[in-house]
Structure 1
């Protein structure tokens, strides 16, 4: 895992995110997502500079569309956001869970 992935994982593991269980490096279909909550069908991706090129962005769009067709929903953050705006990233995840789950 990258440093930003480790930082976010420290807030997701052991059901720390509103009691939901997240896995890291979870295979889905023929892809692996950074973090995944099966109960929410939520994938969280942390994008580093390898995602900056147009080709990489096109591959990400294709991959995400394919997984969304299976019902997976996505939150994406950059390495910079995770490292420098950690609290904002965590708030965004909590807000997404509040807006998209039946659990308060």
Structure 2
């Protein structure tokens, strides 16, 4: 992956200060470094995109999708974004915001298990 544009880095920093409630709930559970060795970043810049969450070791991008992801041209834009992210050698793991609201602990556990499974495949 190439160096990131300083404007994208600044944008990501702004986004970190204004997480959605579902992103915040998930971040509160992912930011703690457990014995599994996984480190997650929030609002991570990649090319012209800002990933909701990113685990470098597992090469995993986690996207939390609210209701707006099904409106207008958003599904096509998400598909385009996913193709770009996957072309960088990352896997995209999409999670419905409603699932985070329903059980943030279970979702965070699922994210960790997904990341660990990717690590174990390497």
RMSD: 1.9
1:29 aligned to which of 44, 47, 50 = 47
1:11 aligned to which of 14, 29, 54 = 29
- The higher radius of gyration belongs to 2
Q: Which has the higher contact order (CA 8 A, sep 6+)?
A: 2
Report the equivalent of 1:75. 93
Q: Deviations over 1:9-66 (max 9, x none)?
A: 0111132483211111000111001001111111111011220125101100010111
Give the length in aligned residue pairs.
103
2:70 aligned to which of 48, 52, 63 = 52
- 1:17–1:74: structure 2 CA closer, same or farther, 3 Å change rule? farther
- TM-score norm. by structure 2 comes to 0.76
Unaligned runs of 5+ in 1: none
Counterpart Cα distance in 2 of 1:16 and 1:24: 17
Counterpart Cα distance in 1 of 2:53 and 2:96: 14
Unaligned runs of 5+ in 2: 1-18
